[in-house]
């Protein structure tokens, strides 16, 4: 027999959908079906059921093969590696719960690590801009109920956040948005004709790398000042039209993604987009929100925000928190040989970092904590498989709009597997023993 | 003026944080005392003497102290940080944060400097006889009060994010610069003798930029006003004057908006 668990949270993308239904066996040991999730979300749940799943830690041997080791041995290796290093990098933290992030932070403090999360290759630049000029933001609920001008800048939710448009931004009928899609004007800024852009009322097909200039042009247009004939390939008449469209709405929201956060200008692009939002508030209500990728990268920024005062790239090596992206960011540290050990949890730098950085990880003492086999586990010395957060263990996660949502356990992890939090707590205890504190 | 000479004898594993290499930390100390000052590698504390040969002695005050640093310093950070007086001469490339938060005195680098040189500078002078990295004379992360006073001169090129949030002082670049110059600046003066790429003066409130070479892309928020003749500090010629950033907020004087000014040379 089976049972259906309702109101399940999807631990995949920053949309953190909370309406999934999951069919599991009566004893809670097997998971059969996932309803309401998009394809990538459902896949995450079904993955936990893979028959060839790795359930015990492994250590790389001289000849490159893996040897199974116990959790105790993995804990010992990890604690020794971190305690011996002068400046270890503890990276990832975006696909795990806040409880594990908090224990990891304690380890980081004890060993003088640099703590960095996936924002470093994603929305970290947005966080720099927020620190520089602040951010007028809102929740996705407000977007659903109020927003009638939706601007997607350098992001493609149709593929990266598949249910974002149907649940919050474009299609739903909310309290003041009873007409749903028909009552909203959708603008997309993207050099490519994406599936998201194909739904837009206005698609500004900007020349690659001119986002900063176009954002500045919008600000000039709001003020009614003169513009050059073209900005980033967009004719000025079109820019004035978009400025008018945004001003004439009752509630405008700008969503932005890696097309602007990781292209030339980086934090400056977001800085200018926030300035556009601020300007719009002179005429109507406007807000702006980053399309955060991993389901709990926002949470790791929150946890470090309240523990250390900074949301990513936190250097604890001197016993106090320092933060300077460009220096304390993972790729800069690896590129410049500033760290002497690498610990990865809840991310896959092997797949997302430049090859030169991955090579550096390969050459250093390194541990990867991940339920899956990934390109990262391939280059690390020890791989510790753990239970899937949000599937096999619950815990807190923050949605892209900074709303905390408690994820749920729906199925048992394979016999004898540890969770992130359990593993980290054991490493912390061992680190304290080694350091004699 | 007394001179302390540091010669690097052991290269650090990882990087050395040597914020004690300043006339301020050395003043009134003998060579042995200077060698006992702290440096850091990651979380480990060491002594300056573990990495440097120290000779000579310091003056009684920072103003009477000159520090000469020899050998390869490309893995040494924070040279001259927060110094208030005296002189530092670096006969090599230096890593990040040379002269960060400097208040007075002079630093001469006979080589290149990496990023964040002159961060949050308040006074004094930095001369780089090579190239400078990104964020030269910029504000520290999250600080909206950037370089306040003092002068930075670079013989070669500079990287991106030059003079972010600059409020005062002067930066002169002999060569070319990368993107984003004087972003959010409220004052100060930047002279670029070579070429600039794009995003000059984005979100700029006040201050001046002079470019003697080309500008790849002008910000849409900068509007051409008029041609003017300029003669100052070895710069002479006819310049096109642009004002901006029109999209940004600006102060008013006698009812008139005061814009930042960008001068581009168009003739001798
Ligand atoms: S949109 Fe994101 S959170 Fe929602 S079901 Fe798909 S992957 Fe999961």
The CATH number of whichever domain residue A282 belongs to comes to 3.40.228.10
Q: Is the pLDDT of residue B176 over 90?
A: yes
The answer as to whether A401 is a domain residue is: yes
Residues A249 and A275 in one domain: yes
Would you call A326 and B116 a contact, using CB atoms and an 8 Å cutoff? yes
The answer as to whether B63 is a domain residue is: no
Would you call A275 and B40 a contact, using CB atoms and an 8 Å cutoff? no
Find residues 93-122 of chain B whose CB sits inside 8 Å of chain A.
Answer: 96, 115-116
Residues A259 and A141 in one domain: yes
pLDDT digits (tens, 9 = 90+) for B102-157: 999 999 999 999 999 999 999 999 999 999 999 999 999 999 999 999 999 999 99
The answer as to whether B140 is a domain residue is: yes
| Nearest alpha-carbon partner for A13 in A47, A43, A49 | A43
Residues A307 and A397 in one domain: yes
Residue A173 alpha carbon to ligand 1 centre in Å: 19
ipTM: 0.94
The residue whose two tokens read 């990651």 is B42
Residues A427 and A397 in one domain: yes
* CATH assignment of the domain containing A311: 3.40.50.740
The answer as to whether A53 is a domain residue is: no
Look at residues A231, A265, A290 and tell me which one is the last residue of a structural domain.
Answer: A290
The answer as to whether B132 is a domain residue is: yes
Q: Is the pLDDT of residue B250 over 90?
A: yes
Work out whether strand B87-91 and strand B65-70 pair parallel, antiparallel, or are unpaired. Answer: parallel
pLDDT band, residue B13 (cuts 50/70/90): very high
**Predicted pLDDT at B268:** 84
Residue A353 alpha carbon to ligand 1 centre in Å: 24
Residues having CB within 6 Å of any atom of ligand 1: A 10, 12-13, 15-17, 37-38, 40-41, 161-163
pLDDT band, residue B3 (cuts 50/70/90): very high
* Per-position pLDDT tens, chain A of length 437: 899 999 999 999 999 999 999 999 999 999 999 999 999 999 999 999 998 999 999 999 999 999 999 999 999 999 999 999 999 999 999 999 999 999 999 999 999 999 999 999 999 999 999 999 999 999 999 999 999 999 999 999 999 999 999 999 999 999 999 999 999 999 999 999 999 999 999 999 999 999 999 999 999 999 999 999 999 999 999 999 999 999 999 999 999 999 999 999 999 999 999 999 999 999 999 999 999 999 999 999 999 999 999 999 999 999 999 999 999 999 999 999 999 999 999 999 999 999 999 999 999 999 999 999 999 999 999 999 999 999 999 999 999 999 999 999 999 999 999 999 999 999 999 999 999 98
Residues A155 and A277 in one domain: yes
3-state SS assignment for residue A375:
helix
Contact B113, B132 (CB under 8 A): yes
The residue whose two tokens read 């702006």 is A288
Q: Is the pLDDT of residue B234 over 90?
A: no
Given CB atoms, is A131 within the 8 Å cutoff of chain B? yes
Q: Which residues pair with B106 in a beta bridge?
A: B87, B125
Would you call A218 and B247 a contact, using CB atoms and an 8 Å cutoff? yes
The answer as to whether B250 is a domain residue is: yes
- Average pLDDT over all residues of chain B: 97
Residues A76 and A115 in one domain: yes
Would you call B43 and A111 a contact, using CB atoms and an 8 Å cutoff? yes
Q: Is the pLDDT of residue B232 over 90?
A: no
Q: Which residues pair with A207 in a beta bridge?
A: none
| Nearest alpha-carbon partner for A242 in A288, A280, A193 | A280
Beta carbons within 8 Å of A385's beta carbon, 6+ residues apart = A53, A54, A55, A56, A57, A370, A371, A372, A417
How far is the C-alpha of A169 from the C-alpha of A164, rounded, in Å? 6
3-state SS assignment for residue B67:
strand
Number of domains in chain B: 1
Given CB atoms, is A111 within the 8 Å cutoff of chain B? yes
Residues A284 and A421 in one domain: no
The answer as to whether B150 is a domain residue is: yes
Residues A277 and A304 in one domain: no
Contacts of B220 in chain A (CB under 8 A): 213-214, 216-217, 220, 227-228, 231
Would you call B247 and A212 a contact, using CB atoms and an 8 Å cutoff? no
Look at residues A290, A308, A327 and tell me which one is the last residue of a structural domain.
Answer: A290
Q: From edge to edge, which strands make up the β-sheet containing A20-25?
A: A2-8, A20-25, A31-35
| Nearest alpha-carbon partner for B186 in B218, B214, B226, B146 | B146
Residues A69 and A190 in one domain: no
Look at residues A258, A290, A322 and tell me which one is the last residue of a structural domain.
Answer: A290
Residues A62 and A162 in one domain: no
Q: Dihedral, CA atoms, B77, B78, B79, B83, nearest 10 degrees?
A: 180
Residue B82 falls in which region: left (phi positive, over 0), alpha (psi -120 to 50) or beta: left
The answer as to whether A38 is a domain residue is: yes
Residue A37 belongs to domain spanning: 2-47
Beta carbons within 8 Å of A52's beta carbon, 6+ residues apart = none
Residues A258 and A308 in one domain: no
Residues A117 and A144 in one domain: no
The answer as to whether B234 is a domain residue is: yes
How far is the C-alpha of A395 from the C-alpha of A415, rounded, in Å? 20
Residue B201 belongs to domain spanning: 115-267
Number of domains in chain A: 3
The answer as to whether A52 is a domain residue is: no
Give the atom of ligand 1 at the shortest distance from the alpha carbon of A161. Answer: 1
Q: B219 to chain A, minimum CA–CA distance in Å?
A: 6
Best residue among A9, A11, A14, A15 to mutate for probing ligand 1, ranked by most atoms within 8 Å of CB: A15
Q: Dihedral, CA atoms, A374, A362, A380, A429, nearest 10 degrees?
A: -130
Helix, strand, coil in percent for chain A, rounding step 5: 40, 20, 40
Spell out the alpha helix ranges (H) of chain B. Answer: 23-26, 31-35, 48-51
**DSSP at B100:** T
- Distance spanning both ends of chain B, measured CA to CA: 43
């Amino acid at each position: 027999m089976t049972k259906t668990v309702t109101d399940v949270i999807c631990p995949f993308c920053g949309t953190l959908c909370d309406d999934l239904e999951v069919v599991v066996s009566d004893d809670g040991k097997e998971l059969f079906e996932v309803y309401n999730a998009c394809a990538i979300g459902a896949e995450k749940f079904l993955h936990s059921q893979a028959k060839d799943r790795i359930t015990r830690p492994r250590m790389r041997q001289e000849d490159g093969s893996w040897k199974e080791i116990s959790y105790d041995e993995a804990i010992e290796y990890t604690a020794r590696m971190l305690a011996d290093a002068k400046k270890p990098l503890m990276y990832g933290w975006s696909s795990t719960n806040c409880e594990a992030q908090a224990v990891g932070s304690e380890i980081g403090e004890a060993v003088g690590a640099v703590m960095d999360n996936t924002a470093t290759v994603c929305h970290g630049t947005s966080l720099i801009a927020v620190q520089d000029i602040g951010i007028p933001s809102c929740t996705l609920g407000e977007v659903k109920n109020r927003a009638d001008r939706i601007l997607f800048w350098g992001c493609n939710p149709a593929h990266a956040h598949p249910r974002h448009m149907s649940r919050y931004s474009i299609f739903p009928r909310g309290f003041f948005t009873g007409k749903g899609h028909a009552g909203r004007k959708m603008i997309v800024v993207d050099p490519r004709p994406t599936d998201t852009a194909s739904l837009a009322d206005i698609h500004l097909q900007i020349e690659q790398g001119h986002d900063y200039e176009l954002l500045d042009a919008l600000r000039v247009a709001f003020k009614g000042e003169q513009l050059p004939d073209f900005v980033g390939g967009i004719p000025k008449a079109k820019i004035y039209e978009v400025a008018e469209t945004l001003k004439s709405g009752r509630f405008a929201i700008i969503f932005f993604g890696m097309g602007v956060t990781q292209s030339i200008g980086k934090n400056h692009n977001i800085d200018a987009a926030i300035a556009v939002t601020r300007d719009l508030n002179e005429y109507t209500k406007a807000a702006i929100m980053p399309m955060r990728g991993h389901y709990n990268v926002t949470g790791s920024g929150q946890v470090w925000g309240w523990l250390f005062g900074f949301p990513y790239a936190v250097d604890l090596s001197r016993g106090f928190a320092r933060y300077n992206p460009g220096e304390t960011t993972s790729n800069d540290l690896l590129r410049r040989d500033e760290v002497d050990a690498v610990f990865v949890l809840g991310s896959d730098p092997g797949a997302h970092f430049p090859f030169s950085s991955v090579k550096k990880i390969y050459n250093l003492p390194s541990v990867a904590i991940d339920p899956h086999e990934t390109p990262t586990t391939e280059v690390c010395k020890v791989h510790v498989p753990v239970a899937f957060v949000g599937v096999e263990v619950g815990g807190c996660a923050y949605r892209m709009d900074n709303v905390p949502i408690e994820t749920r356990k729906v199925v048992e992890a394979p016999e004898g597997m540890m969770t992130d939090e359990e593993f980290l707590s054991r490493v912390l205890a061992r680190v304290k023993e080694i350091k004699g504190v | 003026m007394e001179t302390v000479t540091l010669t690097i004898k052991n290269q650090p594993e990882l990087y050395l944080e040597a914020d004690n290499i300043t006339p301020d930390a050395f003043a009134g100390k003998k060579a042995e005392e200077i060698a006992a000052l702290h440096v850091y590698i990651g979380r480990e504390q060491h002594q300056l003497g573990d990495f440097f040969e120290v000779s000579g002695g310091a003056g009684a005050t920072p103003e009477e102290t000159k520090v000469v640093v020899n050998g390869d310093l490309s893995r040494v950070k924070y040279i001259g940080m927060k110094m208030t007086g005296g002189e530092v001469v670096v006969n090599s490339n230096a890593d990040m944060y040379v002269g960060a938060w400097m208040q007075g005195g002079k630093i001469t680098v006979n080589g290149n400097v990496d990023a964040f040189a002159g961060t949050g500078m308040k006074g004094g002078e930095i001369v780089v006889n090579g190239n400078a990295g990104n964020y030269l004379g910029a504000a520290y992360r999250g600080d909206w009060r950037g370089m306040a006073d003092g002068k930075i001169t670079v013989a070669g090129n500079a990287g991106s994010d030059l003079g972010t949030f600059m409020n005062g002082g002067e930066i002169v670049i002999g060569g070319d610069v990368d993107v984003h110059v004087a972003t959010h600046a409220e004052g100060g003066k930047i002279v670029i003798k070579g070429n600039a790429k794009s995003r000059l003066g984005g979100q700029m409130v006040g201050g001046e930029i002079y470019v003697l070479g080309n500008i790849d892309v002008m910000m849409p928020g900068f509007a051409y006003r008029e041609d003017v003749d300029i003669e100052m500090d070895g710069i002479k010629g006819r310049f096109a004057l642009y004002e901006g950033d029109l999209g940004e907020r600006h102060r008013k004087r006698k009812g008139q908006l005061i814009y930042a000014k960008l001068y581009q040379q168009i003739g001798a």
